[in-house]
Amino acid sequence: MQNNKIILDELDFDILSCLQQDGRMSFTVMADKLKVSVGTVRTRVNKLIEDGTVSIVGRVDPDKVGFHSYAHIAVYVRPATLKEQVAKKISKLKEVSFLAMTSGDYDLEVDVMCRDNEHLVAFVNEISKIEGVNQTKTTIYFKVYKYAQPDLNLLQ
């Protein structure tokens, strides 16, 4: 992804919305829907992929494919100067679906998807061994009601 600030116009957002509805939507269908040429859609989609604005991937239902234990893990890092190092190590772990530095009571927020609770326990034990991880606090998600991408209409 480029370091330059990416400027998206209304057509880019319309194309992104189409892709969020159906990542396999053809350029022809998108062009008809947006009333532009197929070439314009193809060029814009390729640019959005190239600059890292969008990735086209198959999104699976975690429960249906065998991930039955989801959790939110609050990670406390001491000394605080190790936050970046700890985050880089955690980000490489395959179970991690979301990782962010936070303000407030803890330093890092980690969401994970594991096969089962035994896998989750092993994962928590693994990150607890990382230099700088002082403490973790795990909250298990019993049931996920919504798992979605952001609604781009909120930006308009």
Q: Tens of pLDDT along the chain (156 residues)? A: 345 688 999 999 999 999 999 999 999 999 999 999 999 999 999 999 999 999 998 888 888 999 999 999 999 999 999 999 999 999 999 999 999 999 989 999 999 999 999 999 999 999 999 999 999 999 999 988 888 888 888 887
Which of these, 134, 125, 139, 140, lies nearest to 75 by C-alpha position?
A: 134
CA dihedral for 10, 16, 21, 26, sign (positive or negative): positive
With residue 140 as reference, give the H or E element that holds it. strand 133-141
Which domains does the chain carry?
Answer: 10-50 (1.10.10.10), 62-141 (3.30.70.920)
Q: For residues 114 and 95, what is the distance between their CA atoms, to the nearest angstrom?
A: 6
Count CB neighbours of 124 within 10 A. 18
pTM over 0.85: no
Radius of gyration in angstroms for the set of CA atoms belonging to the chain, rounded to a whole number: 20
